[in-house]
């Protein structure tokens, strides 16, 4: 495994901007929704920005791009075609390489139609598709698209380190606990992170236990909520969460 170092910068109301660093103190920045905390962090840690990866077009993920491009004119910026900025469109590519770091591009439509996730073993940058104990709202896609996107991500290795773009863990766990009040994994994990300011990154192994949206193939849950397919259970959970 390469010696990459993961950094997390809290930004805006509840966003995280992730950086992944190589052995030459170069970093790739994922979803800089704002520039100032990134510029400050880079200078404080003496890191050189090599590129930016964008998951989707929402402003809290791309709002810092123009300012970072101004500060660092050589910066490579990649993202899906739905983003209306001077960047390189990766919608038809399966990988993207920045310096010596190559990321697999996983299309994850649902939250937005062009949403992509980036995977470089063991790290997954999944924007607003998968959260700890939850998943993104479906703004542009269908339930089926979002469900399939989550299935794609759940096929990654169990030790995948998941880096979502928001700190929603506690409220997601409250929702899960409301639906399955006797689930001991959810109770235990809630107690474990209750007083943590930052609960991320998480792992796929953990999410398969505590994230109801990744447990829709569970027959007991399907029976409990009177849904006869994983997709129907997913849709039920998502609709419940939207009004929770
Ligand atoms: Zn979004």
Ion ligand 1 neighbours (CB, 5 A) are: 58, 128
State pTM to two decimals. 0.97
Q: Is the pLDDT confidence value at 244 over 70?
A: yes
For residue 23, the CA-to-ligand 1 centroid distance in Å is: 31
Tens digits of residue pLDDT in 91-147: 899 999 999 999 999 999 999 999 999 999 999 999 999 999 999 999 999 999 999
For residue 55, the CA-to-ligand 1 centroid distance in Å is: 9
Q: Is the pLDDT confidence value at 239 over 60?
A: yes
For residue 166, the CA-to-ligand 1 centroid distance in Å is: 9
Name the average pLDDT for the chain. Answer: 97
Tens digits of residue pLDDT in 177-192: 999 999 999 999 999 9
For residue 129, the CA-to-ligand 1 centroid distance in Å is: 8
Q: Is the pLDDT confidence value at 2 over 90?
A: no
Q: How far apart are CA 207 and CA 214, in angstroms?
A: 7
Q: How far apart are CA 42 and CA 133, in angstroms?
A: 30
The answer to which of 2-6, 11-15, 202-206 has the lowest mean pLDDT is: 2-6
Q: By CB neighbour count within 10 A (0-12 exposed, 13-18 middle, 19+ buried), where does 98 fall? A: buried
For residue 139, the CA-to-ligand 1 centroid distance in Å is: 9
| Residue 158's pLDDT band (cuts 50, 70, 90) | very high
Q: What is the mean pLDDT of residues 164-169?
A: 98
For residue 40, the CA-to-ligand 1 centroid distance in Å is: 24
For residue 54, the CA-to-ligand 1 centroid distance in Å is: 11
| Residue 3's pLDDT band (cuts 50, 70, 90) | confident
For residue 182, the CA-to-ligand 1 centroid distance in Å is: 31
For residue 225, the CA-to-ligand 1 centroid distance in Å is: 28
Tens digits of residue pLDDT in 63-95: 999 999 999 999 999 999 999 999 999 989 999
Q: What is the mean pLDDT of residues 40-45?
A: 98
């Amino acid at each position: 495994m390469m010696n990459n170092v993961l950094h997390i910068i809290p930004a805006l109301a509840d966003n995280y901007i992730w950086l992944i660093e190589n052995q030459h103190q170069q970093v790739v920045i994922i979803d800089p929704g704002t520039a100032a905390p990134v510029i400050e962090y880079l200078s404080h840690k003496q890191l050189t920005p090599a590129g930016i990866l964008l998951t989707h077009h929402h402003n809290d993920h791309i709002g810092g791009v123009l300012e970072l491009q101004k500060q660092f004119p050589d910066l490579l910026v990649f993202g899906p075609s739905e983003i209306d900025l001077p960047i390189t469109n990766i919608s038809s590519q399966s990988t993207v390489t920045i310096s010596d770091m190559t990321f697999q591009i996983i299309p994850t439509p649902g939250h937005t139609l062009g949403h992509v996730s980036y995977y470089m073993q063991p790290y997954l940058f999944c924007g607003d598709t998968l959260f700890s104990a939850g998943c993104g709202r479906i703004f542009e896609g269908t339930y089926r698209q979002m469900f399939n996107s989550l299935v794609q991500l759940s096929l990654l290795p169990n030790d995948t380190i998941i880096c979502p773009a928001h700190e929603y863990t506690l409220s997601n766990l409250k929702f899960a606990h409301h639906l399955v009040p006797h689930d001991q994994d959810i109770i235990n994990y809630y107690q474990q992170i209750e007083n943590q300011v930052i609960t991320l990154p998480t792992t796929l192994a953990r999410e398969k236990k505590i994230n109801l949206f990744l447990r829709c193939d569970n027959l007991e849950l399907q029976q409990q909520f009177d849904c006869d397919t994983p997709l129907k259970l997913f849709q039920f959970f998502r609709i419940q969460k939207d009004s929770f």
